[in-house]
Amino acid sequence: MTEAPARLVSIPEAPVPDHGTAEWFRGADGATLRAATFFPPGPARGSVVVSPGRSEPLEKYFEVVEDLLARGFAVLLHDWRGQGLSARALPDRLKGHARGFKTFVSDYKALLDTFEARLPKPWIAVGHSMGGCLTLMGLAHGETRFAAAVLSAPMLGLNTAGVPPWLATPLAWTLSRFGLAGGYVSAPYDPLVQTFVGDALTHDEARYDRYHAQLRADPEIALGGVTWGWADFAISACAWLRRSKSVEAIAVPVTLVAAELDHLVLNSSQKAIAGRLPKGRYVEVPGAFHEILIETDPRRAVFWKAFDETVDPIAPREPLISPNASD
């Protein structure tokens, strides 16, 4: 059967940025995964690879794409396996499932290999939450094509919701290996009927509503709660980064931007990793909830200031030429 062309979901509140093109690429095991490229109208000062967090389709990052295009960057944006329009692991598309972190790391390499020839250097990595964790794992596993990384509320330590880590770790490991990997950790929910008041991941109701309008426009991109398999993956990934000496060999500048009021991931873990990175930096956004990139304008501005401070020395902006300058 012929594969349908990859598509992007466009709504009036969030149209596809100019010159955006979606396409399929193959993951490490041949899985069909979705990515999209965007290019500025003039010469690009470099490329930014944007990796969303858990449950997030690439459409959620259209505003981030616009921010990066305005800065003169080309952008590569992708859906991790198991979310967006990439291949799902289970028949129930709402289940957020995973089978370990090695496949994600291999998919990330496959993404970069597929698009490498089209992406001007230098490369900058941007990742949010789970995407920040997996971006850092890629760097720690020897990915050397990036010149810097800026991570938004990266998932480097989990808030296990009152379950102590000494219990959560073996519980997720055991259940995911004895027939319950595909079962929900907690009660299932429908992301299409969530409300702003009950979610508390951003203070910006307009941005929150815009994202949920995207989900309603194409429910195929929606994702619900996590399985025990996903919980085991996340706990294992955080533990690997906590233990691995490879983190200390990452030579490029890495800025970790944390949300002060984050209740999903642990800021203490971000601080600890930043301290182990040779060129690590920790920045905290005052008053922000977890989803920094869809927060209010002043909170988003803290992220973009940290981004610019990190990348401007690596990918200088074109100097403004005065109209009175001599030839």
Strand runs labelled E in 79-230: 123-128, 146-152
Identity at 179, one-letter amino acid code: G
In angstroms, rounded to a whole number, what is the distance separating the alpha carbons of residues 310 and 256?
Answer: 11
In angstroms, rounded to a whole number, what is the distance separating the alpha carbons of residues 59 and 36?
Answer: 10
User: 31 and 106 in contact (C-beta within 8 Å)?
Assistant: no
Strand order across the beta sheet in which 32-38 lies: 21-26, 32-38, 74-78, 47-51, 123-128, 146-152, 254-259, 280-285
What is the predicted pLDDT for the residue at 267?
98
Q: Which fold has domain 21-311?
A: Rossmann fold (3.40.50)
Instruction: Report the chain's C-alpha Rg in angstroms.
Output: 19
Q: Residue ranges per domain, the chain?
A: 21-311
What is the predicted pLDDT for the residue at 194?
83
Identity at 280, one-letter amino acid code: G
Nearest to 22 by CA among 8, 41, 2: 8
- Whats the size of the chain, residue-wise? 327
What is the predicted pLDDT for the residue at 321?
47
SS3 content of the chain, % helix, strand, coil (to 5): 40, 15, 45
The better pLDDT of the pair 255, 162 is held by 255
Q: Does the pLDDT of residue 253 top 90, yes or no?
A: yes
What is the predicted pLDDT for the residue at 327?
42
Instruction: Give the pLDDT mean for 158-175.
Output: 89
Tens of pLDDT, residue by residue over 72-122, are 999 999 999 999 999 999 999 999 999 999 999 999 999 999 999 999 999
What are the angstrom distances between the C-alpha of 206 and each of 29, 66, 108, 202, 257? 39, 17, 31, 10, 23
Per-position DSSP letters for 72-104, written without gaps between them? T-EEEEEPPTTSTTSPPSSSSTT-B----SHHH
